[in-house]
Amino acid sequence: MSATIIDGKAFAANVRAKVAEHVTRLKDDHGIKPGLAVVLVGEDPASQVYVRSKGKQTTEVGMNSYEHKLNADTSEADLLALIARLNADPEVHGILVQLPLPGHLNEDLVINAIDPAKDVDGFHISNVGLLGTGQKSMVPCTPLGCLMMLRDHHGSLSGLNAVVVGRSNIVGKPMAQLLLGDSCTVTIAHSRTKDLPEVVRGADIVVAAVGRPEMVPGDWIKPGATVIDVGINRIDAPEKGDGKTRLVGDVHFESCAEVAGAITPVPGGVGPMTIACLLANTVTACCRANGLPEPQGLTA
Ligand code: GUN
């Protein structure tokens, strides 16, 4: 293996420390305590794990955490009423509605009901438009985490060829916008892309966000390229024993690490950065709401 391993766990701990430092300053100098409200509708087990983890990390950096757990059959009107209350609450600086929502709820309608200034996920249509036009916005957490690691590794990204594999609203599209904002030449590839291996071979930076286990093999990677693996897939691992599983990314780690210059592992790469960036966005939103300077290095 020749690639440098980009340690997302350590990077995330560093981001959290910077957030905690800023939270202390907000309290000491201004008497302000940032608050994050997380709304979970239903009992999806993976979502429950994420929400618990978000709450724990929010209080660990010294912020207030407000959890709202609603029944799976909650009506759209009740959910919108809760969002209106959170929008109006001056103690709440960030609002996150955990996705996916149960099928009877219109996700676009719900997300667009959040005050864009409190939309720490960066999913509101206003924030999507602001990001797309290079204006100050709330930036989706996972792509923001990827950008921070890429900037740290490369310094300037200017002029590099970046291929984003995956075109989701949560990762692929905002990731492409951020890379474009840092003057990369950006290609968004997806399931219909012709000759995907050849497209990926042209990349100095590959961001894989497709949700398909180990889809990108080492022979698609240009020697020395940086590989950011957003995928978190649980697959069977019979070699570990009956019924055992393990986590893998969207890239085939061993073969890609042979060729890449740098690579994020799974677990311990992009994953830990997502919640760290959520905390960073909450502090940023709190500073903006109070007309105070934003923390440096924690935004796009
Ligand atoms: N579900 C999976 N990822 C996310 C995320 O980044 N934000 C929200 N709100 N829900 C998610």
Per-residue pLDDT of 181-200, as tens digits, reads 999 999 999 999 999 999 99
What does the alpha-carbon distance between residue 127 and residue 180 come to, in Å, rounded to a whole number? 16
C-alpha of residue 99 to centroid of ligand 1, in Å: 5
Q: What is the pLDDT of residues 249-273, one digit of tens each?
A: 999 999 999 999 999 999 999 999 9
Assess whether pLDDT exceeds 70 at residue 1: no
- CA 156 → CA 98, 159, 181, 182, distances in Å? 33, 9, 12, 8
Residue 98 is predicted with a pLDDT of 98
Instruction: Select from 141, 15, 188 the least CA-distant residue to 205.
Output: 188
CA–centroid distance, residue 31 to ligand 1 (Å): 30
Q: What is the pLDDT of residue 19?
A: 98
Residue 244 annotated among the catalytic residues of the structure: no
The answer to whether the CB of 27 falls within 8 A of the CB of 34 is no
Q: Inform me whether the pLDDT recorded for 298 exceeds 70.
A: yes
Q: Determine which residue's CA is closest to atom 1 belonging to ligand 1.
A: 99
Instruction: For each of the domains in the chain, give its residue range(s) and CATH number, in order of start.
Output: 29-116 (3.40.50.10860), 141-271 (3.40.50.720)
What pLDDT does 202 receive? Answer: 98
Q: Which of 111, 170, 171 to mutate to test the pocket of ligand 1 (most atoms within 8 A of CB)?
A: 170
- CA 256, 262, 267, 273 dihedral sign is negative
118 counts as catalytic: no
Neighbour-count burial of 80, counting CB atoms closer than 10 A to its CB (0-12 exposed, 13-18 middle, 19+ buried): middle
39 lines ligand 1 (CB under 6 A): no
- Which residue, judged by its Cα, is nearest atom 9 of ligand 1? 98
33 with 63: CB under 8 angstroms?
yes
pTM of the full structure: 0.97
What interhelical angle do 141-154 and 8-30 show, nearest 10? 110
